[in-house]
Amino acid sequence: MELLIALSIGVLVACGVYLVLRASTFPVVMGLTLLSYATNLFLFAMGRLAIGVPAIVRPDAAGYADPLPQALVLTAIVIAFGMTAFAIVLALKARGETGSDHVDGRTPHPNPSPSRGEGLRGSLAPPRPLRERGLGGEGESP
Amino acid sequence: MMHLPILPILLPLLAGILLLLLRPLGLQVQRMVGFVAAFALLMLAVWLFDASLAGQRQVYALGNWPAPFGITLVFDQLAALMLLVTAILAVGALWYAIVTEIDAQGSHFHVLFQMQLFGLNGAFLTGDAFNLFVFFEVLLLASYSLLLHGGGKQRTVAGLHYVVVNLVGSTVFLFALGALYGALGTLNIADMAAKVAALPAEREGLVMAAGLLLLLVFGLKAAMFPLYLWLPAAYARTSAPVAALFAIMTKVGVYAIIRVHGTVFGVDAGNLAYFYAPWLLGLGLITLVLAALGVLAAFRLRFQVAYLVLASVAMLLIAVGLHSEAGLAAALYYLVHSTLLAGGLFLLADVIVRGRGTYADRFDPGMRLPHHALLGGLFMLAAVAALGLPPLSGFFGKLWILQAALEHPWRWAVLATVLISSALLLIALARSGSVLFYKVKDRPDAADPVLPTQIPAFGLSLTAVLWLLAAVPLLVVLAHPVAEIMQQVAAQTLDVVGYRAAVFDPAVGGK
């Protein structure tokens, strides 16, 4: 069971990291969700794996499952849920304001093929010179 | 008073809830209540700081569950100092937001502001690593919304980056906490320190890996190389009072390193004692070089100030990475100076931007500013302080850090990096000051629309700038008593044994 849990956490993290590194907001949100699933599983496993033992005191119990990770996971689930909702709303707002679902608000390489970036304002703008990025060189004042 | 340590957490929380309920009464009522709450917090912080100087730690067991089973709040001199700096900064930023009516650009500014203070104060007071995570999430969620306050395309994109980076950071935080819990069986910071002191050798690798993961998370909050790329755009794009308040946000990361790593991997941690210090020092030096280059390359004043924040964080990381008592005391002095100065600089930059009309904060020669002599003088004062030139507080802070570095084997690297980067900052700030204040056009170009002849609410917004910049001369005039206090704070912070004793036996309290 240890191997199975470890592999599931590993696969979830790998998928999550891959998706977060994609440049559009929807995969990023999906990636964050997968990462939070992996975290929850990991926190559970850190209380040691135990089957069929109670988490609360009982006189006839042979052993106990650690109740603290379960409380931690509960907190982590609530926080991750709220954060995911916030990230989705923010992604929608960014899509509405910038006209692109790219995380930078514009597609860096204009792609003429109709399958990507058709009709999006961001994709039609020429890429800005690299030297200006991140140093306040671009655009008008916010 | 027994319930004293929880008051700085409860006050902003209750004020925030009250502000939410007061919304139908209009913005004026919210402004009044929000400012009164922030001012009350400042009074409370001054009182608590004064009380903390007696040297007693106060431990507050939430729900009266004794450590390590319940969550404890630990109120000591370091926490009191951070509370005080936060409250001073908050009063200045909030006053500026009110007089310039930036708080009217979106809804719930005052509620979010109080929630931000709630998260910050909680993070400074908690003695439990998972509770620290929860308070981090509280302050981050408030900061996400504050960052986006006022809206705009650029701000939304910068906010999206900030949110995603910090969400990934939260995930790593949980992985680190899970690994620490799995290896040590506790998340109370004092108890973790006790467990690490008695750690079997075969677990050391696991605990070290978890400690480095935790350093990664705190480094992300503090904007340590290579995790600083989110900072310049986020700080430069948001509204001025929010950027001023965020001057404390990077310091929360530094505080968490001092508190968690300094306690858990402190002097009696055996092989793991201060294992993180070389990482901090090395990465701090790299951050400082990159921050200086960023200041030099910035196209806009607000980006330049954001990179100055990064440079100040790098100085703090270096000073903490020296892991000596003198280094920590110097770091705390520099922390107070750089936080209040960065807040003041963001506000001052906003006043300048509003006086330059369409030129905004680009480094292009514009028309002569209204009140150019006063603004130029203030800019020079702030720049001199940020560079670390005599006679202002930045000089004493940097001098003290360099003096502490002389005891360290890496002293030549530290001296060379700090001095060369200061020279780069000097060039950059001299250039931006001369572009903004000396190179003025005689008459506007045909393309220029009507430029402002007056800055709206100039006098009132200047009081906020002066409130924060007043720290710079005050830290010089009072350098001797302040330095003594910082030494006392540093000594108490490094006294891990006393910390553990206070948490496990609240009757002991002090040393």
B198 within domain boundaries: yes
- Whole-angstrom distance, CA of residue B136 vs CA of residue B142: 10
Record: contact B233-A139, CB cut-off 8 A: no
- Whole-angstrom distance, CA of residue B421 vs CA of residue B284: 12
B245 within domain boundaries: yes
B82 within domain boundaries: yes
Domains of chain A: 1-50+64-103 (1.10.287.3510)
Mutate to test the interface with B, among A19, A90, A93 (most CBs of B within 10 A): A90
Q: Give how far Cα B479 sits from Cα of B217, B334, B393, B418, B498, Å.
A: 33, 12, 8, 22, 28
Please check whether residues B249 and B340 belong to one and the same domain: no
Summarised one tens digit per residue, pLDDT across range B280-297 is 999 999 999 999 999 999
B454 within domain boundaries: no
Q: How far apart are the first and last CA of chain B?
A: 19
Q: Give how far Cα B71 sits from Cα of A64, B59, B124, B427, B442, Å.
A: 22, 10, 14, 49, 64
Look up residue A129 and give its DSSP letter: P
**What is the total count of domains within chain B?**
2
How close does chain B come to A96, measured CA to CA in Å? 9
Record: contact A86-B134, CB cut-off 8 A: no
Please check whether residues B470 and B500 belong to one and the same domain: no
B98 within domain boundaries: yes
Q: Which of B346, B331, B359, B118 is nearest to B231 (CA)?
A: B346
3-state secondary structure B114-181: HHHHHHHHHHHHECEHHHHHHHHHHHHHHHHHHHCCCCCHHHHHHHHHHHHHHHHHHHHHHHHHHHHH
Query: At B36, is the secondary structure helix, strand, or coil?
Result: helix
How close does chain B come to A119, measured CA to CA in Å? 18
Place of tokens 């360290």: B408
Contact B240, B203 (CB under 8 A): no
Question: B155 pLDDT exceeds 70?
Answer: yes
Please check whether residues B165 and B80 belong to one and the same domain: yes
- pLDDT digit string (tens) for chain A, length 142 residues: 889 999 999 999 999 999 999 888 899 999 999 999 999 999 988 888 888 888 777 788 777 888 888 889 999 999 999 999 999 999 998 888 888 888 887 776 655 444 444 344 444 444 554 444 556 554 443 3
B451 within domain boundaries: no
- For A138, the closest chain B residue by CA position comes to B299
B455 within domain boundaries: no
Range(s) of the domain holding residue B494: 1-275+478-511
Number of A/B CB contacts below 8 angstroms equals 120
Query: How is residue B378 written in tokens?
Result: 């203030």
Mean pLDDT for B207-214 is 93
Please check whether residues B343 and B431 belong to one and the same domain: yes
Please check whether residues B233 and B332 belong to one and the same domain: no
Please check whether residues B262 and B317 belong to one and the same domain: no
Confidence of residue B359 (pLDDT cuts 50, 70, 90): confident
Please check whether residues B507 and B361 belong to one and the same domain: no
B358 within domain boundaries: yes
Please check whether residues B65 and B139 belong to one and the same domain: yes
Please check whether residues B210 and B265 belong to one and the same domain: yes
Q: Which of B59, B78, B81 is nearest to B190 (CA)?
A: B59
Please check whether residues B303 and B256 belong to one and the same domain: no
Give the alpha-carbon dihedral of B28, B31, B32, B34, to 10 degrees: 150
Mean pLDDT for B441-454 is 68
Please check whether residues B237 and B325 belong to one and the same domain: no
Q: Give how far Cα B366 sits from Cα of A138, B148, B360, B440, B444, Å.
A: 18, 29, 9, 5, 8
- Whole-angstrom distance, CA of residue B319 vs CA of residue B182: 32
Please check whether residues B367 and B263 belong to one and the same domain: no
